Amino acid sequence: MGLLNSFNQWKETKYQNHVSNMKDQAKCPDCYGRGYTVYPYNEFAYFNSFECPGCQGSGQYTDWEEMR
Ligand SMILES: [Zn+2]
């Protein structure tokens, strides 16, 4: 299972980098500061966007951190 572990480690590292990048910009890592998320793969919601569950739509890193 060493391969799987290192893959998960790599994903985790990438995610941590993303989070710290967003933190520098004070943006929510889930929605890149937009305040909403879009699901283009869902044909029924193609033109819809949803309030980001990570930051409650504010797009702020501080709100995202509080929601964790
Ligand atoms: Zn967000």
The predicted structure's pLDDT at residue 39: 61
The owner of tokens 């044909």 is 43
* CA 14 to ligand 1 centroid distance, Å: 18
pLDDT of residue 51: 87
pLDDT digits (tens, 9 = 90+) for 8-64: 999 999 999 999 999 999 999 999 999 988 665 555 555 566 789 899 999 999 999
| Of 20, 22, 40, nearest in space to 31 by CA | 22
Q: Are 22 and 32 in contact (CB under 8 A)?
A: yes
CA angle 37, 7, 60 (to 5 degrees): 30
pLDDT at 19: 97
Rounded to the nearest angstrom, the distance between the alpha carbon of 30 and the centre of ligand 1 is 5
Q: Using the structure block, give the residue that is written with the tokens 């500061």.
A: 33
Q: How close is the Cα of 46 to the center of ligand 1, in Å?
A: 19
- CA–centroid distance, 2 to ligand 1, in Å, is 33
Counted domains in the chain: 1
pTM of the model: 0.75
Question: What is the predicted pLDDT for the residue at 37?
Answer: 81
In whole angstroms, give the CA distance from residue 60 to residue 56.
9
The residue segments making up the domain with residue 21 are 2-67
